[in-house]
Amino acid sequence: METKYVFVTGGVASSLGKGIIAASLAKLLQSRGYRVTIQKFDPYINIDPGTLNPYEHGECYVTEDGAETDLDLGHYERFLGVHTSKANNVTTGKIYNTVITKEREGAYLGKTVQIVPHITDEIKRRMLLLGQSGNYDIVITEVGGTVGDMESQPFVESIRQLQWELPDDAVCTIHLTLVPYLAAAGELKTKPTQHSVQALQQAGVHPDIIVCRSEKELSAELRNKMARFCNVRQGNVIESIDAPSIYQVPLNMLAEGLDEKVLQCLGINLYPQSDLSRLRAFLDRLYNPQDRVDIAVVGKYVELQDAYKSILESFVHAGAANHCKVKVHYIHSEHVDRSNVAEVLGPMHGILVAPGFGERGLEGKIEAVRYARENNVPFFGICLGMQMAVVEFARNVLGYADAASTEVRPETAHPVIALMEDQKTTTVKGGTMRLGAYDCALEKDSLAQRIYGCDMVRERHRHRYEFNSAYLQEMEQAGLKASGRNPQTGLVEIIELPQHPFFIATQFHPEYKSTPENPQAIFVAFVKAALDYKSSKQKAE
Ligand code: GLN
């Protein structure tokens, strides 16, 4: 079968959940037996979001092959259960970088290099790239931003050109809009959608399907009205009502027939839909919890939920696996100190110290680790969270009061976390961390090995600093165990405290690989430990 292309654009407002709609459609098509992938085109000029502050852009999601990407790729992987790659996230910066590099090489000698055709040619080349690999029947491309933005114009123009260059039934365009409810008037309003579709049509792109986000159900009358004004078939105006969980959206889209309409538009035979039983079973557990735990996520980007997106989602998956609701409490590490730590963390059944960069809030993270270690509260540290667990151990167990990571205290006499050797000569900031999946060999009879149930795992990384092995022997003698090591370099990837009921920390980011249907093992075990801690505390009271 020739590869087919679905484009998803957005209008009226940002944050409508284009990524979730694209991922839900992909899930439905995948469950009909099609080979599907999703890619995201982002209109900003950064080469990738790796250098962006999480406050600007939410979490930076890392792929297996080490690309620093938009957090929507996390949704794609969680919904589809397949890995994405460097090729799945393209930015305006990448496009221009390629074109300008080619210009310097002389590829356009004699020509004026312009947005049309040179930039749009490069956009189209990348839009078709995954399809040309032969690995996919359907490639879904989500265009970031909102139609009408200056930044997204070259992307919309490229879709316009492709609509003419590819066979008629090779392209389907979906436009996601907002149909707001005006409480004072007691009405849903379709005008913003009409205007947004007009803007798209002025750019020469005709949507085949309109998906309307709304708080309330759209009547047949409203749908017909939008179809009439927006030049789409009656029946191709689809409602996406606010859902209690993002994982409900594929089922809502199935009920609305989104996948059928897309397949019709692409002229593809309708394979029967599988029953999505694993997704339904997950939702059943999610909606019917039998218990609840309170877990602290101690970090410094707590004002913005999206900054820890994959961690939050991992708790949703791990909670459902334990038939338990996980209530995540964001704790700002800058506001934690020795005087208030017991009060802040006392009510929690588990403490997770989050990844991060830089000095702000570090002392609060170290205090949170100390509290968890000394009070036998289940503890899980990720990346910077692991590094601070090592610093805490060095300070309070080994007695090196000045122990630190050289990231923030290069002059310390006890650099227990230090810059990796190959980072010492690196000066460029973008894309130069230790990124992507590496093997990790698990120590026999360790907590890590019991959790994973195997001897070797592969998890994803994003860091420059590492456990300083010069301190390993001393720390192991004092009761810390390095239970996961990279088999090639010996780098310490997991630490644990065997005398503590549940204390584990990883240099890698296990949250990137958790999905509803395959919840990540450490998160599942951590939630279980929190449940056990809660019931032992209740018994003691
Ligand atoms: N800042 C630390 C490092 O670069 C930790 C990074 C992280 O938590 N992702 O090693």
Catalytic, out of 383, 461, 463, 500: 383
Question: 421 pLDDT band (50/70/90 cuts)?
Answer: confident
> Both tokens of residue 368?
């949170």
Rounded mean pLDDT of 70-92?
A: 94
Strand, helix or coil at 97? helix
**Residue 332: active-site member:** no
Distance in angstroms (rounded) separating the CA atoms of residues 20 and 38: 11
Whether residue 208 contacts residue 175, with contact meaning beta carbons closer than 8 Å, is answered with no
Indicate the helix (H) or strand (E) that contains 401: none
% of residues, the chain, pLDDT over 70: 100
* Cα radius of gyration rounded to whole Å, the chain: 25
Residue 401 burial class via C-beta count within 10 angstroms: exposed 0-12, middle 13-18, buried 19 and up: exposed
pLDDT surpassing 80 at residue 274: no
The amino acid present at 307, given as its one-letter code, is A
Angle of helix 72-80 relative to helix 309-321, nearest 10 degrees? 20
Task: Measure 458 CA to ligand 1 centroid, in angstroms.
Answer: 18
Helices H / strands E in the chain, number of each: 18, 23
Give this prediction's pTM: 0.95
C-beta 131 within 6 A of ligand 1: no
Kindly give the number of the ligand 1 atom that is closest to the alpha carbon of 382.
8
Task: Measure 508 CA to ligand 1 centroid, in angstroms.
Answer: 9
Rounded mean pLDDT of 255-263?
A: 95
Residues 6+ apart with CB under 8 A from 86: 63, 65, 66, 67
Distance in angstroms (rounded) separating the CA atoms of residues 120 and 308: 34
Distance in angstroms (rounded) separating the CA atoms of residues 109 and 111: 6
Question: How many alpha carbons fall within 13 Å on the CB side of residue 230?
Answer: 35
**Residue 509: active-site member:** yes
Distance in angstroms (rounded) separating the CA atoms of residues 100 and 271: 44
Q: Strand pairing of 61-62 and 171-178?
A: unpaired
C-beta 70 within 6 A of ligand 1: no
Strand, helix or coil at 100? helix
Supply the pLDDT for residue 64.
96
Distance in angstroms (rounded) separating the CA atoms of residues 222 and 226: 6
Distance in angstroms (rounded) separating the CA atoms of residues 35 and 3: 10
- Comparing 131-135, 345-349, 514-518, the range with the smallest average pLDDT is 131-135
Q: What is the pLDDT of residues 348-366, one digit of tens each?
A: 999 999 999 998 999 999 9
Supply the pLDDT for residue 12.
87
Q: Which residues pair with 462 in a beta bridge?
A: 435
